Amino acid sequence: MSDIELMAVVERYLNGEMNADERIRFEMLRRENAEVDNTVKEHQEFTGRLKQYGERLAFENLLNDIHNEIDVQALKDEFVHHPSLIVRLWRNHHSKISVAASITIFAVLGTLFLTGYLKSQKQENDVIYLKHEIAQVKHKNDVISQSINTLNIRPKQMAPSNYHGTGTGFAISSDGYLATNFHVINGADSVYIQNADGTAYHAKIVSTDPANDIAILKITDPSFKSFGALPYGFKRSKSDLGEDVYTYGYSKDDGFYSKGYISSGNGFKGDTVKYQLSMDVDFGNSGGPLLDAKGNVIAIISSKQAHTDGAFAIKSKYLYKAIQAIAPDSLRSDKIVLSSKSKFANLGRTQQLNKLQNYVFMVKVYN
């Protein structure tokens, strides 16, 4: 059974679309085949994260609607100039004020959580995707809560209305194909990439592998010609525990370099798709390449563990699988071939980074 066929069966199983006999046979297969069982668990965890992410966006929209709906200055004027009208004020606005008070409570609890006062073991183990948009949602919620709490609305300074967020991507072929995380581009209507010198190109989404959180992009901008030969190679085999690694991405407006080591051969809760890293990464690093000392791409940065310096990266063998699964009619060339030869092996880290930054891009998503 191919990976695509297996995912279709898993979808039917999780959606309750199997009859009783099919379900019994599939559950027997799960008990006998650890890989199938892991696939089911990984898909359940991934869809759960997507659901949580959707709920987060819905909550943000609710906050924005309340922010736009409440005329806070009018409320303030009624308090200051007509104190005798407090009863009428409550009758007219009590539902909105109640929601505002609830949001303020959520903001306080959120602050306690972020500063460590309300930690639990489960919260300490939460995995956070490293897409910039998550940090922006928190910032906007804090601004909204503060303006309600102080009865003082200031002009909004936000990204364009269709701006969704940023991540990182990197070249995987000379003719304009790139890899990034699925969660970086999920729901995008338009994608642009921008290199270290500020040059931007329009790109399209060629293929996605949601189960392993991988997406393949292709530059479609007429001004783009070629990357030329890539200076780094791609390592398919498993890397060793304790191996020195580094990444380059866009957790800030300009490129950001971070180094560390592989702390576990598996990811969160034994996830065999990922490595666990001891490395400082931040929002925006999602989709960046993880390289070994010889300049081989061994994984794709994807997420981090809350309240720790730990990070997670998708092993490169799943990038190979994602490329193999691309429909032939989605590719302009015959196929994408990942080179195993690195030109970084005899270079110092500074020289490696000078070359690497020309092939790693900020991924800007709009919807």
For 322, counting Cβ atoms within 10 Å of its Cβ (0-12 exposed, 13-18 middle, 19+ buried), the class is: buried
Q: Where are the domains of the chain?
A: 70-149, 163-366
Report yes or no: 304 and 277 within 8 Å, Cβ to Cβ.
Answer: no
Give dist(CA 320, CA 340) in Å, integer. Answer: 12
Contacts of 103 (CB under 8 A, 6+ apart): 63, 66, 144, 145, 148
CATH number of 163-366: 2.40.10.120
Report yes or no: 208 and 4 within 8 Å, Cβ to Cβ.
Answer: no
pLDDT at 122: 44
Query: What is the 8-class DSSP label of residue 260?
Result: E
243: left (phi over 0), alpha (psi -120 to 50) or beta: beta
For 82, counting Cβ atoms within 10 Å of its Cβ (0-12 exposed, 13-18 middle, 19+ buried), the class is: exposed
Angle between helices 132-149 and 86-115 (to 10 degrees): 140
As given in the structure block, the two tokens for residue 111 are 């602050």
Alpha helices in the chain (DSSP H): 3-14, 20-32, 34-69, 72-81, 86-115, 121-124, 132-149, 182-185, 316-324, 349-356
Phi and psi (nearest 5°) for 259? -125, 160
Q: Compute the C-alpha angle 338/281/277, nearest 5°.
A: 70
pLDDT at 269: 84
pLDDT at 70: 55
pLDDT at 134: 41
pTM over 0.75, yes/no: no
Report yes or no: 359 and 342 within 8 Å, Cβ to Cβ.
Answer: no
**Mean pLDDT for each consecutive 10-residue tract of the chain (367 residues)?**
77 85 84 84 80 74 65 50 51 55 53 45 57 48 44 34 76 95 92 90 94 95 91 94 95 86 90 92 91 96 83 95 86 79 92 94 90
Q: Which of 128, 302, 132 is nearest to 209 (CA)?
A: 302
pLDDT at 247: 96
pLDDT at 166: 85
Give dist(CA 209, CA 199) in Å, integer. Answer: 28
